[in-house]
Amino acid sequence: MSSPEKIQTLGPDDVIARLRGLREKQPVPFSAFYSSYLGGVVTDPSLMVIPFDDHMVHRGHGIFDTASIVDGKIYDLEAHLDRFHRSAEASKLTPPCSRDEMREIIVQTAAASGQKKGSIRYWMSSGSGNLGLVPAADAETGFFVMIFPGLAYDKRFYTDGMRVMTTTYPIKPALYAITKSTNYLPNVLMQLEAKEKGLDNGVFIDADGNVGEGSNMNMAFVTKDGVLKHPRFDKILSGCTVLRLLELAPVLVTQGIIQDIKIGDIPVEEAMDSAEMMLIGSSIYVAPVVEWDGHVIGDGKPGPVSKAMLQLLEEDMKAGEGRLIDIPY
Ligand SMILES: Cc1ncc(COP(=O)(O)O)c(C=O)c1O
């Protein structure tokens, strides 16, 4: 940061030059960004900006969602758009365009990126216009789409398994947990807390002592008698990945890899006594957990069910009938 005595009033050219300078200092692999405010796509990361007075920035009045690009196709976008619209309604945000237009903007932004693999994150914001709480009278809801390589996870998560801790941060109240808003402070703090302790993630526990979810992923368990268990979805985010896997998992019962599938409350003691534990989400896919609060889960090695679930997901991402949108590069 420049020292306060030297603060200058900048013109548009200075601003562009300085935004470029920022990106040179810290290069980012973002390949395309759509902004409804600009009415177009930019591919220069220095231009991927939104007005500071947008209420998503200074009040957290915004929502988002993330879908994947796999082999030049967008996977399961409709499920993510369903959740995006549910989040918009819960946040009293009026979409700035129809769902069809939104899908088309996402597909065209992905095409402009040229990327065959990665993530698409998109946001709806309550707009700019004042620094109050409720949107300004003439505020226009914003819609933004970013194409980026996706979050990178350590290969060790999949080969050796993850080590997690019960977070000391309270789980979000149900309404905020089921809404994918831009208020991720508890999720950020839980990841930082785990990192500070040399661990890979945290576990939110609800007020009744049942397992909730991780920082940006859901959590499933396999009991010692082979039952795949997942918490109810009324107090945690409805993960598109785990919901799809729960639809696909009956094939694992047929194959004898698991005995049954159950959705319900999972008390911590029961969860700790599992044969397997796994984290599931559209960025991590399916990653086994082998240690929780220093307690070994199962035999301390990634188990067969987490491997089978990962395989099911990867196959669905490649072949999922009716779930893939071709990107017209
Ligand atoms: C809090 C939280 N739980 C669960 C998930 C998993 O959801 P999905 O499978 O749709 O990525 C996410 C990621 O979006 C999340 O942020």
Report domain extents, the chain: 12-148, 156-318
- Distance CA(26)–CA(118), nearest Å, equals 20
Q: How far apart are CA 285 and CA 42, in angstroms?
A: 29
**How far apart (Å, rounded) are the C-alpha atoms in residues 66 and 239?**
11
Whole-number pLDDT of residue 89:
98
User: Is the pLDDT confidence value at 212 over 80?
Assistant: yes
Q: What is the mean pLDDT of residues 288-299?
A: 98
ipTM above 0.95?
yes
CA of 279 to the centre of ligand 1 (A): 10
**d(CA 213, ligand 1 centre) in Å:** 9
State whether residue 157 is helix, strand or coil: helix
Does the pLDDT of residue 1 top 70, yes or no? no
Strand (E) or helix (H) holding 253: helix 250-254
CA gap 22, 15 in Å, rounded: 10
Write out the H or E segment, with its range, that includes residue 241: helix 240-248
Q: 254-291 pLDDT, tens per residue?
A: 999 999 999 999 999 999 999 999 999 999 999 999 99
Residue of 211, 215, 218 to mutate, ligand 1, most atoms within 8 A of C-beta: 218
* Protein residue whose Cα sits closest to atom 1 of ligand 1: 216
156-318: which CATH topology? D-amino Acid Aminotransferase; Chain A, domain 2 (3.20.10)
- Pairing mode, if any, of strands 201-203 and 62-70? unpaired
Q: Is any ligand 1 atom within 6 A of the Cβ of residue 217? A: yes
Q: How far is the CA of 198 from the centre of ligand 1 (A)?
A: 23
Question: Would you call 197 a catalytic residue per the annotation?
Answer: no
- Cα(320) to ligand 1 centroid in Å equals 20
Q: Which of 267, 284, 265, 314 is nearest to 200 (CA)?
A: 284
pLDDT (mean) for 44-71: 97
Q: Does the beta carbon of 241 lie inside 6 Å of ligand 1?
A: yes
For ligand 1, say whether the CB of 218 is within 6 Å of any of its atoms: yes
Give the Cα separation of 260 and 140 in Å (integer): 48
Q: Of these residues, 116, 117, 155, 180, which one is catalytic?
A: 180
Task: Give the confidence band of 6 by pLDDT, cuts at 50, 70, 90.
Answer: confident
Does the structure show a pLDDT above 90 at 2?
no
> What is the b/e burial string over 113-138, where b = at least 16 CB atoms within 10 angstroms of the residue's CB?
bebeebbbbbbbbbbbbeeeeebeee
Cα(96) to centroid(ligand 1), Å:
24
| Ligand 1 atom 8, closest CA | 239
% residues pLDDT > 90 (the chain): 97
- The confidence score (pLDDT) of residue 177 equals 98
Could you please state the CATH topology (level 3) that the domain comprising 12-148 is classified under: D-amino Acid Aminotransferase; Chain A, domain 1 (3.30.470)
> What does the pLDDT look like over 115-166, one tens digit per residue?
999 999 999 999 999 999 999 999 999 999 999 999 999 999 999 999 999 9
Nearest Cα residue to atom 15 of ligand 1: 216
Average pLDDT over residues 288-309: 98
